[in-house]
Structure 1
Amino acid sequence: MDPIVIGMIGVAIMIVLLVLGVPIAFAMAVVGIGGTAMVAGLPQTLSQVTLVTWDKGTDFIIVCIPLFIFMGQLTATTGIAADLYQFLQRWMGRMRGGLGIASVFACGGFGAVTGSSVACVATMGTIVYPEMKRYGYDPRLATGVLAASGTLGILIPPSLAFAFYGTLTDTSIAALFIAGIVPGIITMLIFAGIVWVRCLINPALGPIGPSFTWQEKFASLRGILPIAIIFALVIGTLYGGVCTPTEASAIGAAGVVIVSLVMRRLTWANLRKALWETGLVSAFIFAIIVGGYLISRFLAITQVTDLLVNYVTVLNPSKLQFIGFMVVMYLVLGAILDVFGMTILTLPFIFPITTALGIDPIWLGVFIVIMTEVALITPPVGVNVFVMRGIATDVPMGQIFRGVMPFLVGEFVLIGLLVAFPAIATWLPQMMK
């Protein structure tokens, strides 16, 4: 059978497996191994599986993934994230919608140490939603702003999504982290603006919060110090070129442990929980990475990737046309796949085409992460919405989805800005050189 036909059949089988709910790593590995065996023979395939598993499992750069996960998990379990919100609440709570605005910046701050969207919304949702409910916030606004702001966890560095993308494409992870800073700040400002405007139009959505004395406000400043120290350790060493991403992740993880010890927050229970969650998430990501490389090699030897790249090249689309295609594609895939699944499934096809079109790989990484942000709050899957529903059990799922819609519009505004002004993503990384 023609290798290209085998490749097409393999892609079709993988799509069917994904629709049936088969885990993405397993689906890619099965198709990658089975398809390669049909083309190259079983002995060569088994040798390749061993080589890929060993090569990727021992890649030094991948060590940063579990270290960043551990950093975020320990920050959550030791209560450092709660201190950050308390600081923001005391300074912003008296504004209309102040608790909602505080939650946006709290998610951004926590995103600076966690790197995970789900962890961000789960942690901040548990801390913030009871407070917003207590002060009479509209349930749709309260749940919507938390579900949407949780997406900042994969945009604000250090980001697992950027580390994942950089690993797959051999793009500088340090540059990707730095590239996420400006879009992350713009996202926070857009989301905070949405909350402020909505509460200005309808004050009942976000009543004025509690008042605090100046002494209490200044006392809360210590709540922002741990996050600021950890962020400075990681991003400062990366931006200054002092450390590699792996070294920076080790410094960040050690920094969280030291800060937790100084604050007397570190217990054996907290440490065990953080290590256990780190192991689970890391194993999931590593399985996807190995499965992704297996399917990528299968598509390469069957020449499916080359066929698609040549076809698109013949069509000669403009950059804007292809970006429009990617927006639609990621919206569709977001209905059935998670962040890592979307990234690893599309990159073997997308990356060669964007390279041929002259699209900056750093810009592409930021674009893909923002599109996965959109997928996290878009029905029917909307992982962040489901996590928020588990916290706000009194709010129907439909109400939460309606609550995130204004923020979904804000995400598309950000995408428009990114397309119109690519320097939003590329300016800071270029300053590193």
Structure 2
Amino acid sequence: GGTLGILIPPSIILMIYGILTQTNIGDLFVAAVIPGILGLVMYLGVVYAIACISPQDAPRGERTTTAEKIRSLRGVWPFTLLFVVIIGGLYGRLFTATEAAGLGAGLALILSIAQRRMSWASFRQIFVETATTSVMLYSVLFGALLFAKLISFSGLGEGMLELVQDAGLGPYQTLAAILILFLLLGCVMESLAIILICVPLFLPILMSHGFDLVWFGIIVVVVTEIALITPPIGMNVFVLKAALPHVRLGAIFRGLFPFVGIDLLRLLLLVAFPSITLGLVAMMK
């Protein structure tokens, strides 16, 4: 489930992809909705199947009354309000991603003050952490844009295109080769690094074959999701191992196989039926 975080908006990975490829970020966010929901439903299906096959692996939780469920929702209404305003505004094209970020920050500040949870010390800490994160992200983005310019000026992208053309690969053969490379790199590299390095390199090839860049952006993120939980070095697996030191690493990898399989099926569906990704984008325009 943690892998869905890089796909479901607002996704930093999609924002950086949009900047690198000059693709509308709002379109990317809209395009991510159906693949994200599809992934969620498929994961739930796997969990339900495992629970039916091995009930001891998914014991029933304590029963709660309807009143208890309603009371538990009282503390989440500010987050729900933020989500509805930001994501609803983005999907409704009421404002851009940058405007949504500013509006979200302002609304969060107002809610914190209204609930009397904001002190001067926490206010200062928020500013320091925001500045630190912003500097880090802009530094990464600046380096990525420089790298993209370097590839453009050096002709490396065009060289890759000539190499593919000389090999006689068709559009979907080329796409398969690129996705396999992304899967392999994802086993040993962080997802953001893959996007920053590989997307500018393969952009001329994708454009020459007429692939939709919004569609490809979602495909890339889904492939990266799979790589994050794939042996031998699935980054998310080691994070989970650190949180659960008593569980053997091999047991975690074995438990992930059904989810990797269902993710590969989702990837095949998205490649075979681009309308799953692009249909909602077309409806919103």
Q: Give the TM-score taking structure 1 as reference length.
A: 0.61
**Which residue identity is paired with 1:164?**
I
**Separation in structure 2 between the aligned mates of residue 165 and residue 208 of structure 1, nearest angstrom:** 41
**Separation in structure 1 between the aligned mates of residue 149 and residue 254 of structure 2, nearest angstrom:** 42
Q: Is the 8 A contact 1:191 1:407 kept in 2?
A: yes
Q: Is 1:236 aligned with 2:59?
A: no
**Separation in structure 2 between the aligned mates of residue 268 and residue 389 of structure 1, nearest angstrom:** 37
**Separation in structure 1 between the aligned mates of residue 134 and residue 196 of structure 2, nearest angstrom:** 16
Residue in 2 that maps onto 1:97: none
If asked which structure has higher relative contact order (CA below 8 Å, sep 6+), I would say 2
**Separation in structure 2 between the aligned mates of residue 198 and residue 213 of structure 1, nearest angstrom:** 26
- Cα deviation digits, residues 199-231 of structure 1 (max 9, x gap): 101100000001111211222233553333222
Q: 1:375 aligns with which of 222, 227, 232?
A: 227
In structure 1, list runs of 5 or more residues that go unmatched.
Answer: 1-148
**Separation in structure 2 between the aligned mates of residue 390 and residue 276 of structure 1, nearest angstrom:** 28
Q: 1:165 aligns with which of 17, 22, 38?
A: 17
**Separation in structure 1 between the aligned mates of residue 135 and residue 257 of structure 2, nearest angstrom:** 33
- Cα deviation digits, residues 189-208 of structure 1 (max 9, x gap): 11111111001011000000
- Cα deviation digits, residues 289-344 of structure 1 (max 9, x gap): 22222333333333221111122234443332122112210111112221111001
**Separation in structure 1 between the aligned mates of residue 192 and residue 238 of structure 2, nearest angstrom:** 17
Q: Is the 8 A contact 2:21 2:200 kept in 1?
A: no
Q: Is the 8 A contact 1:178 1:235 kept in 2?
A: no
- Cα deviation digits, residues 353-388 of structure 1 (max 9, x gap): 111111111001101111111122223332222222
**Separation in structure 2 between the aligned mates of residue 225 and residue 313 of structure 1, nearest angstrom:** 55
**Separation in structure 1 between the aligned mates of residue 35 and residue 250 of structure 2, nearest angstrom:** 29
**Separation in structure 1 between the aligned mates of residue 166 and residue 202 of structure 2, nearest angstrom:** 15
**More deviation, 335-344/359-368:** 335-344
1:399-414, aligned counterparts within 5 Å? 399-414=251-266
In structure 2, list runs of 5 or more residues that go unmatched.
Answer: none
Residue in 2 that maps onto 1:351: 203
Q: Is the 8 A contact 2:148 2:201 kept in 1?
A: no
**More deviation, 284-293/260-269:** 260-269
Residue in 1 that maps onto 2:135: 283
Identity %: 37
**Separation in structure 2 between the aligned mates of residue 416 and residue 236 of structure 1, nearest angstrom:** 29
Q: Is the 8 A contact 1:174 1:244 kept in 2?
A: yes
**Separation in structure 1 between the aligned mates of residue 124 and residue 185 of structure 2, nearest angstrom:** 35
Residue in 1 that maps onto 2:214: 362
Q: Is 1:431 aligned with 2:283?
A: yes
Q: Give the TM-score taking structure 2 as reference length.
A: 0.91
Residue in 1 that maps onto 2:42: 190
RMSD (Å) for aligned C-alpha atoms: 2.1
**Separation in structure 2 between the aligned mates of residue 271 and residue 389 of structure 1, nearest angstrom:** 34
**For 1:395, what is the secondary structure of its paired residue?**
coil
